[in-house]
Amino acid sequence: MNRYAIEQKFKSLAAFLIILILLPYIVSVFVNGADVKEQDKEDAYVKVKVPDTEEADGVTELKWTDYIAGILAEEIQEDCELETMKAQAVLIRTQIYRTLEESEDKILTESYLSREEMEDKWGAKEYRGYYEKYIRAVEETDDTAVMYKDSYALTPFHQSSSGLTRSAAEVLGSNEYPYIAVRECPLDKEADHEIQTFTFTCKEIQDLCRDFLVAEKDGEIAAKGYSFEDFEISSLDSAGYVSELRIGSTVCTGDQFRDALALPSSAFSLSEDGGDSIKITTTGKGHGLGMSIWTADQMAKEGKNYEEILAFFFEGTELRNDIQETELL
């Protein structure tokens, strides 16, 4: 065989090998289009600060999909509808994107359930099915995020409202989030633990609220402590949550009071409970902003998909899945 023939044979062999190597990509482009990503998001990892990790700096790396699924598993019950989980997965992803965009070290801190914790929670028999359901919710929403004017939207959520979700303008005092507005959620009235009652002595409340109580000028109050008459709900927002509460000479927000007493909601009423005790009756579970998980789940049971659920709670936003994740991670 002459030299020319040998060169041609090697050229043909090289061309064949190149085609063989590129064949999967060519097929992928043909089927999915030319914008196929070189690396799927499921293969990416994120840095997460975990207090109990063995790493010296408390930071570990987690697979992106597992991290979102782990947060999802901690925040939403396993028996919720798949479309509810998808809506929640989009809200979680959007929150993470907001955090990563604003973060310099790209270290996340959101609490999540590991696979081991999920198995402990559900048992070995149920674990696999539930885990796959959460993963499916993450994967089937792809890289979708909630956007408002080309920025990642603020996407709060809560377990159930008082029957109405709250306005961000009223709660946060800002018009930056017009898409977080009052939404009617009458189905929340049927939510688990929707109405709860707690009893505290005036002294217990005084101790729990000590960080923001002002010093009492009235010597009698200072000496004897508070009585029921020293507690007054001054104003409510348009969703029925307490905006202002007076405790003696102090005026605080309903959310401050809720946090101090670890109440499930700042939609509450006060009543005297004999002696020096106060009965506090709460409605709803959570801060009341954004998506009510309970109503979202009822909407999913009625046939609504996650896009329709999110459009209801965050009207004026849009869903996009063309995010450049590699620039964020």
Digits of tens for pLDDT over the chain (329 positions)? 555 444 555 455 555 444 444 444 444 434 333 332 334 555 688 899 877 655 557 888 999 999 999 999 999 999 999 999 999 999 999 999 999 998 888 899 999 999 999 999 999 999 999 999 999 999 999 899 999 999 999 999 999 999 999 999 999 999 999 999 999 999 999 999 999 999 999 999 999 999 999 877 655 565 578 899 999 999 999 999 999 999 999 999 999 999 999 999 999 999 999 878 999 999 999 999 999 999 999 999 999 999 999 999 999 999 998 765 545 56
Per residue, the 3-state secondary structure of 243-277, as one string, reads EEEEECCEEEEHHHHHHHHCCCCCCEEEEECCCCE
**299 close to 311: Cβ distance less than 8 angstroms:** no
Question: Which residues form the domain of 120?
Answer: 41-157+291-328
Taking the C-alpha atoms of residue 160 and residue 187, their distance in angstroms, rounded to an integer, is: 9
Residues 69 and 49 in one domain: yes
Of 42, 93, 50, 55, nearest to 71 by C-alpha is 93
**Is 108 within a domain?**
yes
Residues 150 and 299 in one domain: yes
**Is 227 within a domain?**
yes
In Å, how far are 51, 61, 71, 147, 292 from 67, measured between CA atoms? 15, 10, 6, 21, 22
**Is 224 within a domain?**
yes
**Is 186 within a domain?**
no
Taking the C-alpha atoms of residue 69 and residue 54, their distance in angstroms, rounded to an integer, is: 22
Domain end among 283, 303, 318: 283
**Percent of residues in the chain assigned helix, strand, coil, to nearest 5:** 45, 20, 35
Phi, psi (rounded to 5 degrees) for 177: -125, 65
**153 close to 278: Cβ distance less than 8 angstroms:** no
Residues 30 and 47 in one domain: no
Task: Tell me how many domains the chain contains.
Answer: 3
Of 154, 174, 147, nearest to 316 by C-alpha is 147
3-state secondary structure of 96: helix
**152 close to 94: Cβ distance less than 8 angstroms:** yes
Residues 53 and 31 in one domain: no
Taking the C-alpha atoms of residue 162 and residue 171, their distance in angstroms, rounded to an integer, is: 15
Taking the C-alpha atoms of residue 93 and residue 66, their distance in angstroms, rounded to an integer, is: 12
